[in-house]
Amino acid sequence: MPDLTGFEVLERIQHKPSVIFTTAYEQYAIKAFENFSVDYLLKPIKEQRLEKSIEKLRQFGRLNQDLNLDGLHDIIRHLKAPPKATALPIRTGDRITLVRFEQIIYLEAQDKYVYVYTVDGQKFLTDQTLSTLADKLPENFFRIQKSYIINKDRIREMHRHFNGRYLFVMEDKTGTRLTSGRTYYEDIKSTFNL
């Protein structure tokens, strides 16, 4: 809220409504319950948790039975769904290059840097860690060892390799071959239904 906090709004109104606080900060929970809130939901809001809050309202006998619950669910879904990124921003000096996710073949960690390789053979350098980038990438990206994350949509072939490893042949101009780490064996089997 741009001008007042939820707590300030509650202090200024005469009527004391049933309130379910929704926030990304858990440190306000005690204050919320001191202000007679019915519940406290942390973002991103899970649908099951919202259902429990609505049930609490019903138990307290305060929920208007004419309330449009579908509309409330739509509002919550809208609040919890951040816009999906479509590209990875890579900063080079003052310039930021947006590398589209579907163009990325794989990412490789080398020392303190990560290289991003694309379908057309380009190579981009970023100073973000592989773990940080893994959190930003969509679900079709998968870590096959501590130094590599691959785009599952850009795998041409997979081969069993020795010592519980797999060899991935990627769908780029050179047919890059990447070997998985032994500790990723079970994750790979599960992800690819092997």
- Walk me through the domains of the chain, giving residue ranges and CATH numbers: 6-80 (3.40.50.2300), 87-191 (2.40.50.1020)
pLDDT tens-digit readout, 79-136: 555 667 788 888 877 888 899 999 999 999 988 889 999 998 899 998 888 888 888 8
pLDDT of residue 1: 45
Q: What's the Cα-to-Cα distance from 91 to each of 46, 131, 150, rounded to whole Å?
A: 34, 18, 21
pLDDT tens-digit readout, 54-78: 777 777 655 455 555 566 566 666 6
Helix, strand or coil, per DSSP, at residue 185: helix
The answer to whether the beta carbons of residues 106 and 170 sit under 8 Å apart is yes
pLDDT of residue 76: 62
Closest C-alpha among 112, 192, 100, 170 to residue 138: 100
The answer to whether the beta carbons of residues 135 and 146 sit under 8 Å apart is no
Structure tokens at 165: 């490893």
The per-residue DSSP string of 68-106 comes to: -HHHHHHHHHHHH-PPPP-EEEEEETTEEEEEEGGGEEE
Mean pLDDT of 128-151: 89
DSSP 116: E
The pTM of the full predicted model, rounded to 2 decimals, is 0.57
Of 69 and 147, which is predicted with more confidence? Answer: 147
